[in-house]
Structure 1
Amino acid sequence: MSNYQPPLTVTPRILALVAEISECVGQLTAYREDTFTPQLRRGNRIRTIQASLAIENNTLTVEQVTALLDGKRVMGLPREIQEVRNAFSAYDAMPAWQPDRQSDLLTAHGLLMQGLIDDAGHFRESGVGIYREAKLLHMAPPASRVATLVQDLLHWLARSEWHPLIVSCVFHYEFEFIHPFADGNGRMGRLWQTLLLSRWRPVMAFMPVETVIREQQDAYYAALAASDQAAEATPFAEFMLSALLQALVEARATDQVTDQVTDQVASLLSILPPGSALKSNELMQRLGLSHRPTFSKSYLKPALAAGLIEMTEPDSPRSPTQHYRRVRN
């Protein structure tokens, strides 16, 4: 039995982030058992899937992903539509999986990549590198070592006594380093970190940290590269913990949403951080929307009418310098 221990330096920044995240989670869950309304959980899951796939160059918007979930026809590339449907299947099945069970890991990959690659649900049998803009960022270990490396990692996962937040980040990095599958490693790493976090606190199953990663995609890849260079997960763990904290802060601010608020309004609030003010086109860009009438009718106007956001220039609604911000409690 392997005694593998992933290399990590537990820095003061890591400890501070773990403390802040734990405090935020406590505040979210302290006053009621069901922290998020069904509408908000559904909206967060949609945003999670859209952002995780967008990182892998899927072009479908939040609006289109929502329509797919509602069973509506969507104009898009068949592969991208299949990716969305697969992701929903995988996230729905997530509660039944054990994080340290290899068979569940393979099952998850099979669901995520069904109909997209020939060897979905199986480890790769050839070499693979991580490229970005034709530049090689990381050459993964040879295929002959994948099964052993994954077994060592899962064994460590089962017995680790580190804080679950740290464990989830280290696993995510080590998984990406091994790159055990021919394709789908990025979305699998993010899915499995969500699974690990949900075992620590159930509310984390609906925390759309992928949207933060999508907004900071260059920093995400830079953190992976920095960990490769340092030969330890520390830089990546610091980045991921920061992203988790940001997602939690935004979710806490959005927690005022009630069951009567639509998915669209919940999504709008979740991408409008407290203390910031954004133009309508900036809000649309963050939501992945391109049709202004839909944005105005389904997102902006209901949020204004509910008193959840306000104009920075209420006396000049059509001002070209108009911004929108959250209403302070």
Structure 2
Amino acid sequence: MSRYQPPLTLTSKMLSLIAEISEQIGQLTAMDERLQTPQLRRGNRIRTIQASLAIENNTLSVEQVTAVLAGQRVLGLPREIQEVRNAFAAYEAMPDWQPSSRVNLLRAHELLMGGLIDDFGQFRRAGVGIYRGDKLVHMAPPPSRVAHLIDDLLAWLAASDWHPLITSCVFHYEFEFIHPFADGNGRMGRLWQTLILSQWRPVLSYLPVEAVIRDQQDAYYAALSAADQSAESTPFVEFMLQALSVALEEAVLGEPASDPVTDPVSDPVRKLISALHRNGPRKISDLMADVGLAHKANFRANYLRPALANELIEMTHPESPNSPVQKYRLTQLGKQAVAQLKSA
């Protein structure tokens, strides 16, 4: 058994967030089982994958990721399409893994990074520094120490009696600090935290916390940096617990009462198409303001994606989904839906 104990200061903020998250998990577990359909779980898995890869500069949208996984042709960089396929395979294999297994950890990296780097599924053999722009923000331990550090961390994980919420966040930070692979460390850390949490509460297997991290990416990196500077994971643990709480709040309160795919005019979609009817073609930022939302992941999941899927709205530049001038407008079907709503 490892004697290693990751440095951490337990704070009142952590305790408060743990209590809040536990209550939210109870609410999510007690929700109507209809809201935990395979369709919704797949949608959340797609959001998770798109967001985790977007943090690593993958430019594919949720709609494009959905199309890739459906076997449809997508206009995108071959590497980005491969990243999507790899990530989906890794998340789908997750139930078969043990968080404290080095073999499983290496297998996960093999699935995530196969065909993308030469030494997938192997610890790095060279030094690595993490940069933000031109600034070095973290120098990882030398490669000669990586295997030993990871084994210590996995042994600690296996023996830890800390609360799983704390354990998962601490592991995530310590893993990023070691930076054991030549590439893919960020997505691996997020995947492994999900694995740890899913074995504690299965409902967390499909929680797209990565979407919250993507929307708070600067704060995510700032928390990593603050943890490095304080030589303990406390700032990062507080950030991740807050992100988990936001993701759970969205899951509990953000889902519309009706199925957004089978019911094309759910309440969120009704607000969206009504705003487009009033104001004409709009950018995402403008539409979010129109419907009173600040959280982009929530807006995409419950407003934009269902309206697109049901062909009520369309892009003004469909050939370039991520164009900075991209807007959305009503289709003929959307105009008919608005007319029906007005006459109802």
TM category (shorter chain) comes to 0.7 to 0.9
How far apart, CA to CA, are the structure 2 residues paired with 1:67 and 1:138?
37
Per-residue CA shift, 1:165-194, capped at 9, x if unaligned? 000000000000000000000000000000
Change (3 A) 1:99 1:134: same
Residues 1:103 and 1:299: Cα distance change in structure 2 (over 3 Å): same
Q: Which amino acid aligns with 1:100?
A: S
- Residue 247 of structure 1 aligns to a residue whose secondary structure is helix
State the shift of 1:280 in Å: 5.8
Instruction: Decide whether the 8 Å contact of 1:28 with 1:35 is kept in 2.
Output: no
Offset, 1:69: 1.1
**Is the Cα contact below 8 Å between 2:171 and 2:193 reproduced in 1?**
yes
What secondary structure does 2:36 align onto? coil
Q: Distance in 2 between matches of 1:193 and 1:265?
A: 36
| Whole-angstrom CA distance in 2 between matches of 1:221 and 1:100 | 25
Q: Quick check: 1:92 aligned with 2:92? A: yes
Partner of 1:131 in structure 2? 131
Residue 242 in 1 paired to residue 253 in 2?
A: no
Cα distance, 1:253–1:126 mapped onto 2, change above 3 Å: same
Mapped contact 2:261–2:309 kept (Cα < 8 A): no
Instruction: Find the counterpart in structure 2 of residue 62 from structure 1.
Output: 62
Aligned to 2:12: 12
C-alpha change, 1:93 and 1:257, in structure 2 (3 Å) is farther
Partner Cα distance (1:20, 1:249) in 2? 10
Gaps of 5+ in 2: 273-281, 289-294, 314-333, 336-344
- Is 1:72 matched up with 2:75? no
Structure 1 residues 55-113: Cα deviation after superposition (integer angstroms, max 9, x where no partner): 00000011100001111011111100000000000000000000000000000000000
- Distance between the aligned counterparts of 2:168 and 2:284, measured in 1? 35
Q: Would the alpha carbon gap of residues 72 and 196 (structure 1) be closer, same or farther in structure 2, given more than 3 Å must change?
A: same
1:45 equivalent to 2:45? Answer yes
Aligned residue number for residue 170 of structure 2 = 170
Cα distance change on mapping 1:258 and 1:107 into 2, 3 Å: farther
The answer for the alignment partner of 1:217 in structure 2 is 217
In structure 2, the CA distance between the partners of 1:9 and 1:262, relative to structure 1 (3 Å rule), is farther
Asked if 1:159 is matched to 2:162, the reply is no
Q: Give the deviation of 1:206 after TM superposition.
A: 0.5
CA distance in 1, matches of 2:306, 2:84: 22
Query: Percent identity among equivalent residues?
Result: 67
Equivalent AA in structure 2 for residue 65 of structure 1: V
How far residue 30 of structure 1 moved from its aligned partner, in angstroms, is 2.4
The superposition leaves residues 200-240 of structure 1 with CA deviations (integer Å, 9 ceiling, x where unpaired) of 11110110000100000000000000000000000000000
Q: Do 1:149 and 1:178's aligned partners in 2 also have CA atoms closer than 8 Å?
A: yes
Contact 1:37 1:258 in 2 (8 A): no
Whole-Å Cα distance in 2 between the matches of residues 254 and 126 of structure 1? 44
Q: Deviations over 1:120-172 (max 9, x none)?
A: 00000010111111211100000000000000000000010000000000000
- 2:330: which partner in 1? none
Amino acid at match of 1:199: Q
Q: Report the equivalent of 2:118.
A: 118
| Preserved CA contact (<8 Å) 2:131 2:137 | yes
Q: Distance in 2 between matches of 1:135 and 1:299?
A: 45
Checking the alignment, whether the CA contact within 8 Å between 1:39 and 1:261 is kept in structure 2 is: no
RCO comparison, higher one (Cα < 8 Å, 6+): 1
Q: Does structure 2 conserve the Cα–Cα contact (< 8 Å) formed by 1:97 and 1:104?
A: yes
Query: What amino acid is aligned across from residue 144 of structure 2 in structure 1?
Result: S
TM-score by length of 1: 0.82
Local SS of the residue matching 1:93:
helix
Letter in 1 for 2:201: R
Structure-2 change in CA distance of 1:57 and 1:297 (3 Å): closer
Q: Does 1:298 align with 2:309?
A: yes
User: Structure 2: how far apart are the matches of 1:62 and 1:260?
Assistant: 15
Cα distance change on mapping 1:164 and 1:296 into 2, 3 Å: closer
Q: Which residue is 1:150 aligned to?
A: 150
SS class of match (1:131): strand
| Deviation by residue 1:20-39 (Cα, 9 ceiling, x = unmatched) | 00000001112556761222
User: 3-state SS of the aligned residue for 2:122?
Assistant: coil
Structure 2 distance, partners of 1:188, 1:73, is 27
The CA distance in 2 between the partners of 1:225 and 1:300, in whole Å, is 43
Q: Give the conservation status (yes or no) of the 8 Å contact 1:126–1:143.
A: yes
3-state secondary structure, aligned to 2:130: strand
Judged with a 3 Å threshold, the aligned counterparts in structure 2 of structure 1 residues 193 and 34 are, in CA distance, closer, same or farther, namely farther
User: Which residue of structure 1 lines up, in the alignment, with residue 284 of structure 2?
Assistant: 281
**Offset, 1:295:** 7.8
Q: Which amino acid aligns with 1:131?
A: Y
**Closer, same or farther: CA 185–297 of 1 in aligned 2, 3 Å:** closer
